[in-house]
Amino acid sequence: MAHKAGFVNIIGNPNVGKSTLMNAFVGEKLSIITSKAQTTRHRILGIVNGEDFQVILSDTPGIIKPAYQLQESMMDFVKSAFEDADVLVYMVEIGEKELKDESFFNKIIHSEIPVLLLLNKIDKSNQDELEEQVQLWQEKVPNAEIFPVSALEGFNVPQVFGRIVELLPDSPPFYPKDTLTDKPERFFVNEIIREKILMHYKKEIPYSVEIDTEEFFEEEEIIRMRSIIMVERETQKGIIIGHKGAALKRVGVEARKDLEKFFGKQVHLELYVKVNKNWRSDSRQLKRFGYSG
Ligand code: GDP
Ligand code: K
Ligand code: MG
């Protein structure tokens, strides 16, 4: 039996639904999702295995104009996503106009790799608007096959997946067939905690935070974790902790619930807050947290 395998890279503006789509394909919450831009900072692989195929998806940060070094290295993840793809999934949402970066847009319209343009969030639109948008995008990106989808509701998601498999080259699998992702367990601990911070704090706080899980110790009945929440300034530390520690406690309780779901096991989570001045602009620190720096 012939076997197909290859790399599918999901790119697009912030908040169009890239991570929601990746999770829908994989059937697991590998990528954290919030309504805020820059929720996804890394390139995250999600692998879907079938008897005769292996689809290796990569979710990337939304395309932005970088303002500091962390964002530059986020855009390096996006650039790398163009280089090794067998299929490009370019996601836009209903009502959206242009990609925030022209050079990325040019790469898409001149791509020699097949491009699937997903017009997402059609659950929020009507038939007239939908038809108009399909036509508009077909003119803008003539080399793309267009699929209206709702990543959130799963509408048309299996059809897109089927098309992806058709487009993949004949190849043996790249990863063992029981692999779900390339990231280690601690990465998901960090991400789940960061999602709660994105949800509960305003303004610049979520963007100044990085999580470092120092301990991940699996026992028979329970997994014990200790994670540091790193902020850039002393004032941010106070905000994270909150009055009598209530704000931090809420993060801990909600993160633990999600971690227990994710790992299918009881979790004990200890959280600490530390000031780490200007880590977002420090190459050495960025490297340590898995960015190119
Ligand atoms: P990303 O930044 O492109 O990765 O987008 P996310 O996957 O984080 O989603 C951003 C926001 O859009 C979240 O609030 C999602 O729940 C929402 N969203 C994603 N897909 C859909 C969809 O198909 N319909 C609607 N109505 N909302 C969606
Ligand atoms: K988002
Ligand atoms: Mg995302």
Structure confidence at residue 58 (pLDDT): 92
For residue range 136-165, what is the model confidence (pLDDT) as tens digits? 999 999 999 999 999 999 999 999 999 999
Q: Are 186 and 213 in contact (CB under 8 A)?
A: yes
The ligand 1 atom nearest the CA atom of 15: 2
Count structural domains, the chain: 2
Q: Supply the range of the domain harboring residue 200.
A: 185-288
For residue range 104-136, what is the model confidence (pLDDT) as tens digits? 889 899 999 999 999 999 999 999 999 999 999
Residue 174 lies in a domain: no
Q: Are 55 and 116 in contact (CB under 8 A)?
A: no
Residue 244 lies in a domain: yes
The ligand 1 atom nearest the CA atom of 13: 3
What the block records as the tokens of 175 is: 């990863």
Residue 153 lies in a domain: yes
Q: Identify which of 149, 181, 9, 174 has the alpha carbon closest to the alpha carbon of residue 88.
A: 9
CA of 34 to the centre of ligand 2 (A): 5
Domain boundary among 167, 193, 213: 167
Beta-carbon contacts of 247 under 8 Å, excluding residues fewer than 6 positions away, are 200, 201, 239, 240, 241
Q: Are 163 and 116 in contact (CB under 8 A)?
A: yes
pLDDT grade, residue 77 (50/70/90)?
confident
- The ipTM, to two decimals, is 0.99
> In this structure, are 57 and 158 located in the same domain?
yes
Residue 168's identity, in one-letter code, is L
> In this structure, are 48 and 21 located in the same domain?
yes
CA of 99 to the centre of ligand 1 (A): 17
The answer, yes or no, to whether any atom of ligand 1 lies below 6 A from the CB of 81, is no
* Model confidence, pTM: 0.90
Structure confidence at residue 220 (pLDDT): 92
Residue 17 annotated as binding site = yes
Distance between CA atoms of residues 282 and 175, nearest Å: 33
Per-chain mean pLDDT for the chain: 92
Residue 232 lies in a domain: yes
**For 9, how many CA atoms within 13 A lie in the half-sphere containing its CB?**
22
Element (H, E) at 5: strand 4-12
For residue range 265-282, what is the model confidence (pLDDT) as tens digits? 999 999 999 999 888 888
> In this structure, are 73 and 218 located in the same domain?
no
We report the CATH number of the domain holding residue 191 as 3.30.300.20
The answer, yes or no, to whether any atom of ligand 1 lies below 6 A from the CB of 19, is yes
